[in-house]
Amino acid sequence: MEISLADWGTIAGIAVGAIALGAVLFVTGRWVGGVNEHRNTVKDILAEMREDIKNILKRIPPSTVASESPLRLTDFGQDISEQLDAGTWAQRTAAELRDEVEGKQDFEVQDFCFTYVGEQSKPDDEQAARLAGSPTRTALTVNKC
């Protein structure tokens, strides 16, 4: 059986096609492997980030106020309020500031209170002593109380 020149062309074409197909499959396999490797790396990074976020959130002290409006203390906030005798201070201070908030809307009174406590109010000696002792019972820093 004799192979003609045209047959050799066909055989060469098939061989080149097979080599090209093999090369494409090889390159595709390496590419898929690289993608899978990067996917695993991304998964590891995301798992590490998730764990870091959980650790950060564990360090945040519990909230002292409920998120609803008007302002309401959580049980933790109520405990701190009782330790500091904040109710007595609030009654005394409210009487002194009544003229400044008279006629204001509820939210304006609340904003005024936040500003007053944050910027103008200074603890007396008794309050300072209570503040100094409170962090040991609540595990908060004085700035957070």
Q: Supply the DSSP symbol for 70.
A: S
Q: What's the CA gap between 140 and 101, in Å, rounded? A: 31
Average pLDDT, the chain: 80
Specify whether 27 is located in the same domain as 92. Answer: no
Specify whether 69 is located in the same domain as 140. Answer: yes
Q: Supply the DSSP symbol for 65.
A: E
Q: What is the mean pLDDT of residues 96-102?
A: 90
Domain count, the chain: 2
Specify whether 51 is located in the same domain as 76. Answer: no
Query: Is the model's pLDDT at 142 over the cut of 70?
Result: no
What is the predicted pLDDT for the residue at 19? Answer: 92
Domain-terminating residue out of 18, 40, 60: 60
Specify whether 47 is located in the same domain as 96. Answer: no
Instruction: Tabulate helix, strand, coil % of the chain (nearest 5).
Output: 80, 5, 20
Specify whether 82 is located in the same domain as 131. Answer: yes
Query: Is the model's pLDDT at 145 over the cut of 50?
Result: no
Q: What is the mean pLDDT of residues 49-69?
A: 80
Say if pTM beats, i.e. exceeds, 0.85: no
Q: What's the CA gap between 106 and 98, in Å, rounded? A: 13
Task: Write out the residue range of the structural domain in which residue 138 sits.
Answer: 65-144
Q: What is the mean pLDDT of residues 124-137?
A: 72
Query: Is the model's pLDDT at 65 over the cut of 50?
Result: yes
